[in-house]
Amino acid sequence: MNKNQDQELDYRMDSVSENVSENASENASEKVSENVSDARLSQIFGEALGDEPSKEETLAAWEAFEKKHISSEEEHLQKAENELSEKKIEDEIGRENGNEIEREIEGESSSRKVSKARILTWITASVAVAASLFLFIFRSSQEISQPTEFSMELFSEVTSPKQVEQTLSDGYCVVSTPAATTTLVTLSDGTKVMLNANSTLEYPASFDDAEVREVRLKGEAHFEVTKNPHRPFVVKAGEMQTQVLGTIFDVKAYRKDAPKVTLMQGKVKVSNADTEVEMRPGQTATLQADKIVVSKASSSASDWLEGDFDMDQVTLAEAMSDIGAWYNKTVVFQSQANMDKLIHFRFSRRASLQEIITALNEMGMAKVRIEKGKIMVL
């Protein structure tokens, strides 16, 4: 061969080598693409898409993905390099047979050059896409609040009038108290009634012509009844009524609350349409499913008289119901488990609602916040 033929042969041999390199590189790229497919990414990050894992679990999954797949790409790259090296050796041997090389050259078509750098670029881009998908999933799982299936509303906000006193058509007087306020009412027979917040008492202007001293209550009140053996004193609250001759007791009958009577001193008879129960001091009678259930009174039953929230081993549901009643805010629980937790809590009723919520959150039992005018317990 002359010099021009040698140059042409060298050029064609380089083309053969480049074409072989391209084929080997494309095969390696296809393998990498298969390994970093959408299906595989879904498998790796499926937990993040579903059950909202913790941060630690998600990071661990990412580290496992990175370790496994980066090493996998390196293996495929090494394999491609080995194939290229083997082909170069074959090409060197083939140089000795120019005719065979020329035939090989004539059968090859031109193709684009794929270098090792391009393979590395493709791998880097694949990993970057996977990382972006991971970050999007992780951030979305943190920012999107999942709807809760459980929602229980306890105390419901009532239209609370300013403190008023009026007379109804049947001759009864009416006294109502707004939120975060207590009111002392003295009846015509000397009986003293302390009304709790968001409560209403209806009572006659005089008991002189009545055989029974009867009053009606919505909310909560503490009674210190003047003794009169000839005229029993009766408190009607919801579906339950309490009859006494002279004693000290507390009646609680807020809307959505089961009517409850707690006896501090003396004796009372508590009844509904079907049952009558006589109580002793230190007992609480509660109307449950048309039955009157008697239990030991809580030490915090009359804490509101002292101007405090004093809750000793009561359920969080009961505590939040009292707080909602005092501040006239609807209380909504979004976890059944939180409702049954026991709490020991003491705080002044003169504090603001936000101060109470801050104190509850610092206890760490549940997350409490104000949302659209309601107290939400999460």
Q: Is the pLDDT of residue 216 over 80?
A: yes
- Do residue 287 and residue 178 come from a single domain? yes
Write the DSSP symbol of residue 335.
-
At which of 88, 111, 143 does a domain end?
143
Residue 179 contacts residue 352 (beta carbons within 8 Å)? no
Q: What is the pLDDT of residue 269?
A: 94
Please state, in angstroms and rounded to a whole number, the distance separating the CA atoms of residues 119 and 360. Answer: 58
Residue 196 contacts residue 216 (beta carbons within 8 Å)? no
Tokens representing 6 are: 């040698």
DSSP of 91-107, one letter per residue?
A: HHHHTT-HHHHHHHHHT
- Do residue 366 and residue 260 come from a single domain? no
Q: What is the pLDDT of residue 240?
A: 94
Q: Would you say residue 351 lies in a domain?
A: yes
- Summarised one tens digit per residue, pLDDT across range 95-149 is 555 555 444 444 444 444 444 455 455 545 454 444 444 444 344 333 333 434 5
Sign of CA dihedral 354, 358, 359, 363: positive
Q: Name the amino acid, one letter, at 244.
A: V
Task: State how many domains the chain has.
Answer: 3
Q: Would you say residue 223 lies in a domain?
A: yes
Q: What is the pLDDT of residue 91?
A: 57
Q: What is the pLDDT of residue 24?
A: 42
Q: Residue 37 phi/psi, 5° resolution? A: -80, 170
CATH number where 294 lies: 2.60.120.1440
Residue 36 contacts residue 69 (beta carbons within 8 Å)? yes
Q: Residue 108 phi/psi, 5° resolution? A: -95, 145
- Do residue 92 and residue 18 come from a single domain? yes
Q: What is the pLDDT of residue 112?
A: 44
Residue 114 contacts residue 25 (beta carbons within 8 Å)? yes
CATH number where 320 lies: 3.55.50.30
The better pLDDT of the pair 31, 193 is held by 193
Tokens representing 145 are: 């609040």
- Summarised one tens digit per residue, pLDDT across range 25-58 is 444 444 434 444 444 444 444 444 444 555 555 5
At which of 108, 143, 178 does a domain end?
143
Q: Would you say residue 51 lies in a domain?
A: yes
At which of 267, 299, 331 does a domain end?
299
Q: What is the pLDDT of residue 277?
A: 94
Mean pLDDT over each residue of the chain, to the nearest integer: 73
Write the DSSP symbol of residue 202.
E
Q: Would you say residue 157 lies in a domain?
A: no
pTM over 0.85: no
Q: What is the pLDDT of residue 302?
A: 79
- Do residue 207 and residue 244 come from a single domain? yes
Please state, in angstroms and rounded to a whole number, the distance separating the CA atoms of residues 52 and 138. Answer: 8
Task: Determine the structural domain holding residue 87 and report its residue range.
Answer: 3-143
